[in-house]
Structure formats: structure tokens, C-alpha cells
Structure 1
Amino acid sequence: MIYPQNFEQKTGFDKIRQLISEKCLSPLGVERVGEMNFSSEFDIVSVRLNQTEEFVRIIHGDIEFPANYFYDVRYSLKRIRPEGTWLDEKEVFDLKRSLQTINEIVRFFKPTTEGEVLYPALTELAGDVLVFPQLIKQIDAILDKFGKVKDNASPELAQLRKEMTTTMNGISRSLQSILRAAQSEGIVDKDVAPTMRDGRLMIPVAPAFKRKIKGIVHDESASGKTVFIEPDVVVEANNRIRELEGEERREIIRILTTFTDMLRPLIPDILQSYEFLADIDFIRAKALFAGQIQGIRPVMENMQQLDWGQAVHPLLYLSHQRQGKKVIPLDITLTAQKRLLIISGPNAGGKSVCLKTVGLLQYMLQCGLLIPLHESSKTGIFNRIFIDIGDEQSIENDLSTYSSHLTNMKYFVKHCDAKTIILIDEFGSGTEPQIGGAIAEALLDRFNRNQSYGVITTHYQNLKHFAEETEGIVNGAMLYDRHHMQPLFQLSIGNPGSSFAIEIARKIGLPEEVITDASEKVGVDYVNMDKYLQDIVRDKRYWEGKRQNIRQQEKKLEDVTSRYEQDLETVNKQRKEIIREAKAEAQRILSEANAQIETTIRDIKKVQAEKEQTKLARKALDDFKASVLNADEEDAKIARKMAKIKERNERKKQTQKGISNQQTFNRDVIEIGDFVRLKGQTSVGTVMEIQGKQLLVAFGMIKSNVKLEQLEKVSKGQIKRESPKSTFVSSQTVDEMHEKKINFKQEIDVRGMRGDEALQAVTYFVDDAIQVGAGRIRILHGTGTGILRQLIRDYLRSVPGIRQYHDEHIQFGGAGITVVELE
């Protein structure tokens, strides 16, 4: 079910139909394009997609597809149903060629000689189609290769044409004889030849000589300078030609009537075969269009879901392609847990395009068209697609824009269910904002209760808050570049967007006093809300990138640690082997020592303790002792090495396990000064104030009021553990750092920025400078009132890694530039 009736016009599908129609070869396919409809039957949609995908493969294959003669002869076949009617030569010729095409297509889809079916869906479509080879042979017996009735189509026709040829030759000879005589007498010019006028051969003559040739004057030229005379001698022959032509025409009609009488009983079967030809023409056009928009057959499951990557609006793609521009693709996900997506962001930021892309691609998919997505995308199927977009104001029905929106909403609430996808642009707009927002929130609640899916765009803050607090609904934002004041046309799911009304008004040149008055009327908190929100989104993207880098480094660190542990295990095995061998060697040494001592004692006793012999024995014993001591020193060296290895291993284990002797940490109690972070996030902030269940938390330079239940307490140990400490850096990272260092600019210009924006930019700049190892950087902040200069220097004073900072030399900018010396 599709709502409203002009759904195709609102989504642009009517233009898709037109583009596909232009690729059809005949009215057969064009009719099918007009009949193309939305289906919620999974099997039907799957078959349609399979057929189109297979034809895309045919187009890119090596074997040429037979697509020469897609003629629509259905009107002619229906016209000859009454007895006595017949097909003319052209109709019979078109019938023959189109039947040949059908025959060739059916043969194209037959299994190969090995029994392999290359195109299952199309082969099944062609399975029951009738072909008429005998009929084609009969037509070949009647018509020649140019579509004219052959001379031998019947004996009578052959005799008539033979007599016509003989008579025409006789006329030609007679005329040539008369013409040569007239030329010799100077009646006609030398280059004149017989001319055919009204089916009769004649001689062109100047009006002054028309009495010189006996015959009938039939005609004259437009200028009056030539008359055409039929000589008396050929009048009878020309009359005979006329009679023969009439007989020939009657014989041809008889032949065609006889053929038509034979054809008439086959008309129902032939028309059925032309339905197949229409299907093939239609599928071929869909495949060609898929190639034009880079469409694919995505994974489709019989469930309600959207998991799209790099989705592109096909009409926008074609338009940008003609202009040489690129379309920014859309990534969007709707699941059973997050069914309703509330998209907010600035005007002209791409919200409506996002919504139309979802509606158009889902509708195209369920009409059997391939759609432009990334091949990893997953699609589902819906029973109903409802859309409310654009101005539906109606004078005839006395409906305002808002009334028409409410009429649509009434229909949506009544008919939506878990298999419905709802697309609403500028939800709740068109009336007084407060009541409009309240009604929109109530309707959104009903949609959510009915388990419906949907994409809804809005500017209302209450809908953003409702989405944040309600299960089944998720916020999304169309991103915006605040520094360049231009939309990025990228969808970010998870956070609401900002309308940037103040910034856009300032960009287009609205007087500053007007902007100031407006800001005062709504209050500074309301104005800052959008700014803080965008800052959080921007910081989230920045820290997400940092976190990704940390994850990569942690993975590399784990690999290095694993290798280190394996090496350590090998060393331990070697140590045990060395100790075993050392013990065996010590045992051997002790045995030898005892034997040496006993030998020495015997020698001394034997020589009765002669001094020289005693000295020699003692020297031999001392030498042996020295060798034993040297062995002990080697063992000591090994022991010291093993101790060092063990000590390093223990330090590594302590680093991985964290500091175990920390002070007792109570996670459930949050006090001023504690470290906290948003649940599910990584950025850590400090609690500044506690007001009931509202906490003022400083995330870097940004302070924000956050509900207590949205926070979790973080210990110092966790912060240390989550900080990257690895010194193991891959070659890829080194190359990236080298590239970043080469491209790093040692100067930043923050003039004209507001204080918080300038501080944020300087923070990122200083981080990058420290990362690439820059020794000296410059910050251009201007002089002005000096407030921006003071804010930046207060920040620099708190950053470790900065040796000193000072004004630039007076010749190069003086107090308008701060020079920072890094350690």
C-alpha cells in the first residue's frame, strides 16, 4: 500500500519511469513500464530483482543478446480476427522478424549442452513460451528478404509478372525507337529518356513540338516547358500493363488472405508469445537503467530493516554526473531496536534529500529495480510506505498546508503497523510552534507504539529530546561545517543536529543588531545549546578518530606482547636447560676436585713434603680452583641475566594489570572533582557542580549540564589504563606520522573566531604540534581588546610540553601573534 496517490510524483519515481521507457525497444516494453507496480510479496520482488540482475550479466557478457526486431504487431493480429480480412506485406514481414526474435531469445535461454542453466530466473520465464518455426517458414515462402511478395508465391502471380515484364520490354523498345527518330529530327534533345508518369511510359517534349509526335498528351511540367506524350503505338501496351497490375494486386491479396486464414487460429498463442517479448523488453530496459545509475541487487531479507551503506539518490546522481559533480552517499540504519530516525539540522543541509532517497530507493526495490547501494548493504521489505512531504495546500478542498498534513497524519495513525515505513518532512510545521510540536510529539509516540519504521525531519527541540529519552527512536543530524558555513550533506546517527539559524543569518548579512536582539529574546542558553551540541558532535568525531587509532595501536601492542611472552617462555626453557647442565657440570667438577685433592695429598706424602713438589702440587690445586671460580662467575652472569628478564616481565605484568594498591574506589558515589564520562562514550570530564540530579561537567573547555543517570564514575587507574602508553609503533604509523609532520603548518589563524571556537582550534593545533614534534609554532589572534589573546595564553599556561610563549617580534606582528616554544 502506497500513500498518498501522488507518491511517485513526490519521490521522483515518475521520472524514473520515463527514463526506463526511453530504453525500451518497442511499445511492448513501454506498456510494461507503465504497469510496473509496488509489491509487498517477498517472493515476487525477489524474482523481479533476479531477472533484472541476470540481464545485467547478459549485457556485460560475451554472447550478444538477440534484440534486433522488437515489433509490436498485436494490433494487426487483433484486426484480422474477422473473416475476410488480411495482413498486408509490411505486417506479415514484421510478424516474421519478431517471431524470429522470440525464437532466438527462447533458444538463448535454453540450458547448455552440459545441462548448465546460466540464467535461472529468465530461463523459467521463457520455459512455456511457444515459438512458431513452421509459420516463419510459410512466411519465407511468400516474402523475399526485403518483405515483398515473391514471384513464385503462386503460379498465377509468376505468370502475371512474366507477362508484365515482356510487355514492359516491348513498350521500352517502341519508345526508344520513337525517341531516336525524334532526336534525329531535332524534336527532342539528345539526353532525353522515356519517363514514367502515372504508371505509364511517356516521352518528354517541348510544347512547340508536341504536334510532331502522334499520341496522347497526358501531363506537363510545373514550369510549362515540357509536355509528356504517350505515343499511339504504346497506348494499348500501357493499358495492358494497367490491367496486369490490377490482376497482380488481386493475386497478392488472395495469397495474403489465404495466409491470414491459416494464421487466424494461432493468434491467441502468438499474442501470448508477444507478452513474453514485452517482458524481455521491459527487463532489458531495467537492466540498462541499473547500469546507468550503478544499481545492484542488494541482500534482501524477508523482514523490516534498512542497513544501507553509500546509498545514492539516482536522479541526483544523474544530474550531478552531467555537471561533473559527485554525490555524497548516505549511510542509514533502521533496526527493530531503533526504528524511527528523527533527523535535524540546518535548512538546505540535505534532510529532505535523505528522506526522499529512502522513500525512492525502497519503492524502486519493491518495484523490482536494482538500486545504487554498497554491495554489503542489507535491505528489507515493507507492506506500506507512507510519505508526507511538500506543500499540500488545496483551494478546492479548502485545506491549508497544516490541515493537509494533519489529514495525512490521521491516515498514518490509523493504518501504520510494524510493517510500515513512514516518511515525514518538517514534522509538525505549518502552525504555532508550541502546539505544533506537542501534536507532533504525540503522533510520534503513536507511531512508536505501533512499532512502525520511519524517517522524520524536524527543527523542534521537543522531538529531539523525546527521541533521546524514548526507546525505539533515535536522533540523527545532517552535519554542517561551522567554520566554512556550508553543509556537509552527511548523516550522523546518534545525536541531534543544529539548525544554525544564528550563524546562517549572520552569513547572509542580516544586521548584527537584529541577530543580537533575537539572541537576547530567546536567551543565551538557548542560543548556546545548538553551539554546544555541535561542539560535542565535532569532538565526538575527533575523539572517535583518536579512539580508532588507539585501538589499532593496542592491537599492535597485543601482538608484540604475545611475541614477547613466547620469547620469554623460550628463554625460561633455555634457563632450565642451562641450570640442569650447570648442576651436572658442578657435580662433575666436585668429583674432579675431590679426586685432585686426594691425588695432591698422596703426592705430598709420597715425596715426604719436599718444598718444590709441595709448591707444584699447591699450584696445580690453585689452578683448578681458579677454573672452578671462573665457572661460578659464568653461572652468576647467567643468573643476573635471568633476573633482569624476570624483572622486566614483572614490570610488564604490572603495566597490564594496572596499579593494584589504589585507594578504595566507590563507583556509586559521584562528588565534585570526580572523573566521569557519558555512558557508552570515552571522553572523560570533571564534575564542577551538583544540583540534585543535574551535574555540571567540564569536558575539556566545554561545560555541560548532564543528568546523573547518564554518567558513570571513572577512576584514575581507568584513565591511565585507557591512555595509550605503547612505544611499539608500526612502520605504517611511522609513515603516517612522517607524512603528517611534512604537511604540518606551524601557524594557525584564529582571528574573527569567538573565544570558545578559537580555544578549540588552538587545542587541536597544539596537540598536533606536540605529536609531530614541532619545536616552535605561531598563533595569530590579533590585538583587538586583548581578550582572545588572554584566553589563549591562559590555556597555554596549563599545557605540559610547552617550554615558554611570548609575543612575536614587533616587525612580524608583535602582540597580535603569540610564539610558542615546545619542549
Structure 2
Amino acid sequence: MLYPSNLEQKINFLKIKDLLKTECSSPLGMGYVDRVAFSSDHNMIGKLLDQTEEFRQILISGESFPASNFTDLNPYLEKAKLEGAFLDQDEFHEVKLGLQTLKSCLTFFQKFGDQYPTLSQLLGLVMELDLGLLKAIELIIDEKGKIRNNASRDLQLIRNQIVYEEGRLRKVMERVFKEARAKGLTPEDSAITIRSGRLVIPVAAENKRKLRGFIHDESATGQTVFMEPEEALDINNEIRDLEYMERREIIKILTQLTDRLRPSIPALRKATNFLGLMDFIRAKAKFAVKINAVRPDLVKERMLNWTKARHPILELALKAQGKSIVPLDIHLSGHNRLLVISGPNAGGKSVTLKTVALLQYMLQCGLLIPVSPDSKGSLFDNFFIDIGDEQNLENDLSTYSSHLMSMKHFTQFANKKTILFIDEFGTGTEPQFGGAIAESILLALNKQGAFGVVTTHYGNLKQLANKNQGLVNGAMRYDVDRLEPMYQLEIGKPGSSFALEIASKIGISKDILGYAKNQIGEERVRYDRLLTQLENEKNKYSNLLKEITAKEKLLQTRLKEYNELKETLELTKKRYIQEAKQEAKSLLDETNKKIEATIREIREEKAEKEATKKLRKELESFKETVKPEKIKVRDPEVVVLGGKIEHGDWVRLKDNGAIAEVLQVRNKEVEISIGELKSTVKLNRLEKISQTQVKKEKKAMASRSGYNTNAKMMDFSPNLDLRGKRGEEVLPIIQTFIDEGYMLGLKDLRIVHGKGDGILREVTRNLLRTMPAVKKMEDEHADRGGAGVTLVTLK
């Protein structure tokens, strides 16, 4: 049982339906959205939820499932069921698209049916469908929805003849038009056109007697007439006859194809229902993905155990504004069935109530809901709400009377299978009487075992919930210091309205507030003050707990990283020591053997002085072989090309090996480009190399650039001294210096170039300006070099 009749409007479920319709791709799916209804059938709701959850998994997996052409075939089937009737080519095109979608659905479930068992059960609706019908339609209707030329032999002959006659007509018309233009019969800038479906020639009205033919039309001014030449008349008539023949043949083909379709009409009706269901379920799944909804566990025991529940419409609205919603945790069970929520105005009480009401209704309509995946819920037979003002002028009902009418219905029909929602319980009349009546109704509903959520400001209802099993208090948390709601529900304690605190913060005088406190009574003020103090302490300790939790998490992460690093270092150290010991032992063993052999040979042969020297020399040579090798990277040999150096050639500087491109040759000076930098050097300092050699050289430079980061960090100095070097010589040095500093993560570097004539400084700073890694550069302090030193800050 649902109450009242406009329940869906009050909880904003109609907006959910509208959002579902926007996700549908056809009227079929929208029709199913209109039929969505509340149910307490556990098996049916479980099946609906499973269907939507499986389709949500299809969307998440990215598997290709038909997304369009969920065509409503019923109008075409209704037309085709009459004997002698036929569908036109556009209607058959729609039928073809629908059948192609059905075929794609069947193919999908044949491939993935085991992964989606609940959806696969719906295939029973299309088991009787003859897919040979699709092949028959495809042989007649092409991709653009037109009759194919080869749909029949006669149609092909007719259309070929039409093409031939149209070509002949075009040639005749062009000849006649050319002759008429030569005689000056046609207006300037005129062309052959069409009137009444026939090709005509524009002719000046005064010349219409000079051309034999039939006038089909004239211009708005009457100065031009459109004539069909006599020579073209017979050809046009022939084409018109062929078109009539073509139409008769098309009707014949479509009639035969409709006769082929007619026996499949019952199966096609079921297939149409399948298409509608697929579009509807797909829309529900798409909406679930959009609001991050899941399928909660459905249990037989009456309970609501939701974590991180969110109002879908509110969340979408906040997301559009770049804001985020505060999730809600709610737990109702046998001993805490009726939740009495209190707290200040605009603190979120009504939003909390409407969130629970909407999500429970969505769940019982077979929709996934935006909660945490570990949430649990159950189904109720009755769903009652009393939200908003139901004042009725026709029935002479006041606001409070309308609330009492709702309470009468609640108390008459509520039971253990009822969930109810009452907003601002007891308001609308004198508080003393309204509170007493609300208290007695709440006790009656609790006695009947109903579940639900109630919001109120009445203190007697808070005390009632604190004393009676089945009732439980809940408070909307409030930041007392800033007088701002936190929109967080806390179950287990009542909330304060913070009326005095808000009034004081606004600036109401102390005298007025003092009088109000006296009217309220010291006991009630003390009670409210305790609630305020409790809220303050709750906020304080919640913040502390968040900080401690964050620090603890960071500490655990750092500790884990430290332990892993320590373990890695220990293992690496042991491995290196073991390898070093092994290598040292091998070297010692080999060395001792060599020494012993040498001594033995000297003793056995009683060697002369010269022989001893020879043996010692061999021993020294052996020592050289066991010394650590110094690896030297050899630069590749450069083959210098002969010939004159010209613009566009690649060259290498003889003194530092830098690669450059020639931009301009002026007598004995050459302007070159090294990367993005330009410089002028003497011609005799350059040697010409080939394009192939340039690639080899760059590759060699790239291979030489590999280095050990730790070793570089140990050897790298943030100071670079360029004094005494030439302008073009320092370019690769600066480039390497900045690159290595950037790779090692340094921020501040120092380049000493001296003052002098400022040439070296200018070259250095011009290069630095082109380097992406450089954030800024400036002179050193006057006491430490001034303009003779450039301080570089890296990004």
C-alpha cells in the first residue's frame, strides 16, 4: 500500500523517471520507464536488480553491445497483418534495423551468456524468431533504405533502360539549349532546369514562338518561360512510362516481401518487447553508472543498513556546481526501527529523510541505488509519507488537519511490514498540544512495529525516543563555533536546535535572550546547553581523530617504505660483500699460486740474477693483469669530407667536437647553428662531415651521456667556471651542466664567466634563455662577483 497518491511527486521519483527516459534510445524503453512501479515481491525485485547490475557490468567492461535502433516494430506489424497490404521501403528499412539490433543482441549473449545469466533468460522472447527474414529483407533493401537494383530481374532491366533514356534526354537537351543560346532565345546566365519533373529550357517570353515545344511554367515576372523542346517530348514520355513500370515492379516486390514477413508477426511482437526491455535495462544501468549506484544485498529480515548513501538528484545538482555531497550512514533494525532526527533548521534533517525515502522507493522499483557495496536492505509492503503542506481548500482542511488525516491513515494501516516518513512531526498547531499528540502517535506506531524516519524539534519526542525500545534518537551535526551545518547524521543522541546560540550570534540583545531563557526554564536551557557542549566536544575530538588517523596512516606508510628500503639495502650490501669476497679470494688464490710457483722455480733452478729479474718481471706483469680496469669510452672516428664548406652543410668544430649546421659563409668567417644557438667562427676551425656522420656522432654523444645517477650526485658541483674559454667552446659545457643539474633535482646553480668585455656572459645568458629547464637567472651579489657570476634557478 502506498500513501498518499502523489507520493512519487513528493519524494521526487518523477524526476528519476525523467532522468531514466533521457538514457533511453527509443520510445520502447521510455514506455517501460512509465510502467516502473513499487513492488514488495522479493523474487521479482531481486531479478530486476540482477538484470540492471549485469548490464552495468557490461557497460563497465566495455564489451560491444548494441546502442541504437531499438525500433518499435508494432506499427509496421499492425499494417502488415492485413492480406494484400504491403510495407513501403522506408518501413522495411526500419524493420531491418530492428532485426539487425536483435541479431547483434543474440550474438552477444551467445558469446557472453554465461557471464550474464539473468539477462540471458530474456532470450526466451526471441527464440521463435526467424532470422532468415532479415536476410530476405537485406537482399531487397540496401543500407540507405532503398530497393536494390537487383531486387528482381525485371526491376534491373527497367532501371537500366531509365538510365539509358535519361542519358539520351540529357544529350538532346544540351544540343537544343546550345542552339537556342546561339540564336539568342535564352536569357543570359540561364541553364537547363526541371519543372513538373521534366527537363526544360528557360526561354525569353518574346521568343517562345521561335522554339517548338511545350511550356510547363513561367517566371514570377513573366519574362521567362520554361519549355520542353519537341525533340525531348517523346523521350520524357518514355521515361515517365518506365517510372510507372518501376513503381509497379517495386510494389510487386514489396508485396511479396510483406507476405514473407506476415507469418512472423507474433514472433516479431515478442522480439519488439525484448528490444524495449533491453533499451530499458540499458537505460537503468547507464543511470546507475552516472550516479555510481550499486546493488545492495536484499535480506528477509527487516532492516536498513546503508553506508555512504547519497541523494542522486542532489548529488547531480551539486556536481554541476563543482561541489560534493556529504554521504549518509543509516542503520535501522529490530530494536531501533523508528529514527527520530532532531537538530537546527537548515541542518539537513529533511534532506536526510527524503534521501532514505527516495532510495528505498527506488530499490523497491528495481533500481540500483547510490550506496556503498556492503550495504544491506529489505523490502516493505507499505510505504507511507507525510512531507510538506497538504492544505486542501476544497475539503476545508488546514495544514495541521491534513497532517492529522495522514496520521489517522498511518495508525490504521501501519504494521511490521510498513516503512513511513514524517517530516516536522507535530508542527502546525500549539506546541504543547501538538507535541502531546505527536508523542502518542509515535508510541502507537512503535507498538505496531513500523520502520521509518521522523524529523522534529519537539523536546518531548527526543526524550520519548531515549526511553522506549524501538525508537532511537538521531542528530544532524552542527559546527557551533561557525554556526554552520555539517550535514552529518549521528544516530544514538538527540540534537539541539541551537536557537539561543544562533540568536546570540546574529546579535539579539542579552536582555531579550535572558527573558527567553527564563520562559524556557532553567532545566530545559541546561539540557540544551549540555547538547551544545556535547556537540562541541564531538566536533573537537572528531577533528583530532582525523588528524591522528592521517598521521598514523602516513607513519605506517613511511615505516613500511623504510623497512622495505632497509631490507633491500641489507640484501644488496650482503650480495656485494659476498661477490667482493669471492672475487678477492679468487684473486688471492691465483696470486699466491703464481708467487709460490715463481719461488719454487727460483729455488729449483737456483736461478741467476738475470733469471730472477726475468721471473720478477713476469710477476709484475701478472700484477698488472689483476688490477681493476679503467673503462675508456672511445669516440667514433670521424671521416672528414673534402670540398668547400657551403650553406646547409654539417660541420664539426676541430677544437671541441661540437656538431653544427652552416647558416652563412662570409669570406673566412662562418655563421653556424648549434642546436638553437648561433655563433660566428673562423673557417679554418671547421671540418665538413656528411649527414650520415652527423647521425653517428649524435648517437655516440647520446651513448656517452648515460651515467650513474648516484655517482654523478657525488661528483657534480653546482659551480661552473668558464673563465679562459672561448664563446663557442662553452656552449656544450653549459648545456651539459644545466641538464645534469636538472636531472639530479637541483634548484640553484652558479656559473662563473667573469666580467671582461661581457662576451662570455652574453653567450652564456643567451643560451640559458633558450633552455626549458631554466626558471630564472640573475647577477650574483656584488660582494661575491656581481655581473661576473650568473645565478641560475631551475624549474
TM-score range, shorter chain: 0.5 to 0.7
Q: What runs of 5+ residues in structure 2 fail to find an aligned partner? A: 552-795
The AA in structure 2 aligned to 1:523 is G
Partner of 2:104: 104
Confirm or deny: 8 A CA contact 2:334 2:470 kept in the other structure: yes
**Aligned Cα RMSD in Å?**
2.5
Q: What is the deviation of 1:148?
A: 0.8
Q: How far apart are the structure 2 equivalents of 1:74 and 1:548?
A: 60
* Higher mean C-alpha deviation, range 444-453 or range 70-79: 70-79
Task: State the match for 2:451 in structure 1.
Answer: 453
Match of 1:129 in 2: 126
2:20 aligned partner: 20
The CA distance in 2 between the partners of 1:545 and 1:108, in whole Å, is 52
| Residue 412 (1) aligns with residue 435 (2) | no
1:273 corresponds to which residue? Answer: 271
- 1:170 equivalent in structure 2: 168
Question: In the alignment, which residue of structure 1 is the partner of 2:566?
Answer: none
Other structure's SS at 2:420 match: strand
Deviation at 1:99, TM superposition (A): 0.6
Instruction: State the distance in 2 between where 1:551 and 1:395 align.
Output: 57
CA–CA distance in structure 1, aligned partners of residues 399 and 257 of structure 2: 64
CA distance in 2, matches of 1:546, 1:269: 67
Shift of the alpha carbon at 1:78?
A: 1.4
Could you say which residue in structure 2 is the equivalent of 1:469?
Answer: 467
1:327 match: 325
The offset of 1:436, in angstroms, is 1.2
Matches within 5 A, 1:349-428: 349-428=347-426
5+ residue gaps in structure 1? 554-823
CA–CA distance in structure 2, aligned partners of residues 72 and 397 of structure 1:
45
Q: Compute the displacement of 1:224 (Å).
A: 4.5
Return the offset for 1:19. Answer: 0.5
Structure 1 window deviating more from structure 2 (389-398 vs 221-230): it is 221-230
What residue in structure 2 maps to residue 200 of structure 1?
A: 198
What is the deviation of 1:225? Answer: 4.9
Tell me by how many angstroms 1:411 deviates. 1.2
CA distance in 2, matches of 1:229, 1:512: 100
Contact kept, 8 Å, 2:336 with 2:469, in 1: the verdict is yes
Please tell me whether the aligned partners of residues 103 and 132 of structure 1 are also in contact (alpha carbons under 8 angstroms): no
What does residue range 737-776 of structure 1 map to in structure 2 within 5 Å? Answer: none
TM-score, normalised relative to structure 1: 0.64
Post-superposition offset of 1:244: 2.6
How far did 1:187 drift?
A: 2.6
Report the CA distance between 1:184 and its aligned residue: 2.2
**Distance of 2:231 and 2:546 partners within structure 1:** 104
**Alpha-carbon displacement from aligned partner over 1:288-337 (angstroms, at most 9, x marks no partner):** 11111111112221221111111110001000000011111111110111
For residue 118 of structure 1, what is the amino acid of its counterpart? Answer: Q
Letter in 1 for 2:208: K
Q: Secondary structure, in 3 states, of the residue corresponding to 1:110? A: helix
Tell me the residue number matched to 1:218.
216
Query: Are residues 288 and 223 of structure 1, via their aligned partners in 2, closer, same or farther at CA, if it must alter by over 3 Å?
Result: farther
Following TM superposition, by how much is the alpha carbon of 1:266 offset from its aligned partner in structure 2, in angstroms? 1.5
Partner of 2:237: 239
Partner of 1:684: none
Tell me whether 123-132 or 429-438 shows the greater mean CA deviation: 123-132
Q: Does 1:518 align with 2:484?
A: no
Letter in 2 for 1:16: I
- Per-residue deviation, 1:40: 0.8
Q: Say which SS state the counterpart of residue 211 (structure 1) adopts.
A: helix
Q: Are 2:125 and 2:274, in contact at CA under 8 Å, matched by a contact in 1? A: no
Rounded Cα–Cα distance in structure 1 between residues aligned with 2:477 and 2:5:
33
Partners of 1:136 and 1:429 in 2: CA distance: 65
Amino acid at match of 2:333: T
Equivalent positions of 1:481-500 (< 5 A) are 481-500=479-498
Q: How far apart, in 2, do the equivalents of 1:294 and 1:258 lie?
A: 51
**CA distance in structure 1 between the aligned counterparts of 2:391 and 2:221, rounded to whole angstroms:** 66
State the Cα distance separating 1:204 from its structure 2 match.
1.8
Q: 1:513 to 1:452 in 2, by over 3 A?
A: same
SS of the aligned residue for 1:37 comes to: coil
Q: Helix, strand or coil: the match of 2:475?
A: strand
Partner residue of 2:49? 49
> Match of 1:368, SS?
coil
Q: How far off is 1:342 after superposition?
A: 0.3
Distance 1:369 1:550, change over 3 A: closer
Map Cα deviations across residues 759-786 of structure 1 (whole Å, 9 max, x no partner): xxxxxxxxxxxxxxxxxxxxxxxxxxxx
Tell me: CA distance 1:551–1:280, structure 2 relative to 1, closer, same or farther (3 Å): closer
What SS does the corresponding residue of 2:110 show, helix, strand or coil? coil
Name the SS of the counterpart of 2:410 in structure 1. Answer: helix
Structure 1 residue 157, shift from structure 2 partner: 2.5
Residues 74, 86 of structure 1: CA spacing in aligned structure 2 closer, same or farther, 3 A cutoff? same
Alignment match of 1:183 (pick from 181, 187, 200):
181
Comparing 81-90 with 402-411, greater Cα deviation is found at 81-90
Are the counterparts in 2 of residues 99 and 132 from structure 1 also a CA contact under 8 Å? no
Q: Which residue of 1 aligns with 2:442?
A: 444
Give SS of 1:229's match.
Answer: strand
Distance 1:206-1:522 versus aligned 2 partners, 3 A rule: same
Corresponding residue to 2:297 among 279, 294, 299: 299
CA offsets, 1:154-190, max 9 Å, x none?
A: 3332333233223322222221211121122233368
SS of the aligned residue for 1:456 comes to: strand
Cα distance, 1:394 vs structure 2: 0.7
Letter in structure 2 aligned against 1:411: H
Give the Cα–Cα distance (whole angstroms) in 2 for the partners of residues 546 and 185 of structure 1: 102
1:425: how far off? Answer: 0.3
Tell me how far apart the structure 2 counterparts of residues 82 and 508 of structure 1 sit (CA, whole Å): 78
1-structure distance, mates of 2:248, 2:550: 89
Q: Structure 1: which amino acid aligns with 2:390?
A: E
Matched residue type, 1:76: Y
Q: Which amino acid aligns with 2:78?
A: K
Counterpart for residue 672 of structure 2: none
Alignment partner, residue 631 of structure 2: none
Relative to structure 1, the CA distance from residue 384 to residue 74 in structure 2 (aligned partners, 3 Å threshold; closer, same or farther) is: same
How many angstroms does 1:540 deviate by? 5.1
Residues 418/224 of structure 1: CA separation in 2 closer, same or farther (3 Å cut) = same
Say which SS state the counterpart of residue 126 (structure 2) adopts.
Answer: coil
Comparing 537-546 with 177-186, greater Cα deviation is found at 537-546
- Give the corresponding residue for 1:312: 310
Separation in structure 1 between the aligned mates of residue 210 and residue 526 of structure 2, nearest angstrom: 110
**What letter matches 2:6 in structure 1?**
N
- Structure 2 equivalent of residue 88 of structure 1: 88
Distance in 2 (alpha carbons) for counterparts of 1:550 and 1:317: 30
Question: Which amino acid in the other structure matches residue 204 of structure 1?
Answer: P
Contact 2:39 / 2:364 at 8 angstroms: preserved in 1? yes
Change beyond 3 A, Cα 1:541–1:472: farther
> Residues 691-730 of structure 1 correspond to what in structure 2 (within 5 A)?
none
Q: Is the 8 A contact 2:192 2:202 kept in 1?
A: yes
Determine the C-alpha separation between the residues in 2 that align with 1:551 and 1:489.
22
Deviation at 1:355, TM superposition (A): 0.2
Change in Cα spacing, 1:547 to 1:160, as seen in structure 2 (3 Å) is closer
Counterpart-to-counterpart distance in 1, 2:170 and 2:511 = 101
One of 133, 137, 140 as aligned partner of 2:138: 140
CA contact (8 A) 1:21 1:285 kept: yes
The 1:197/1:474 distance shift into structure 2, 3 A limit, reads same
1:245 to partner: Cα distance: 2.1
- Separation in 1 of the partners of 2:157 and 2:85? 25
Query: What amino acid maps onto 1:21 in structure 2?
Result: K
2: distance between equivalents of 1:509 and 1:539? 24
CA distance in 1, matches of 2:76, 2:327: 49
TM-score when normalising by structure 2 = 0.66
Structure 1 distance, partners of 2:17, 2:72, is 20
What is the Cα deviation at residue 102 of structure 1?
A: 0.6
CA contact (8 A) 1:308 1:374 kept: yes
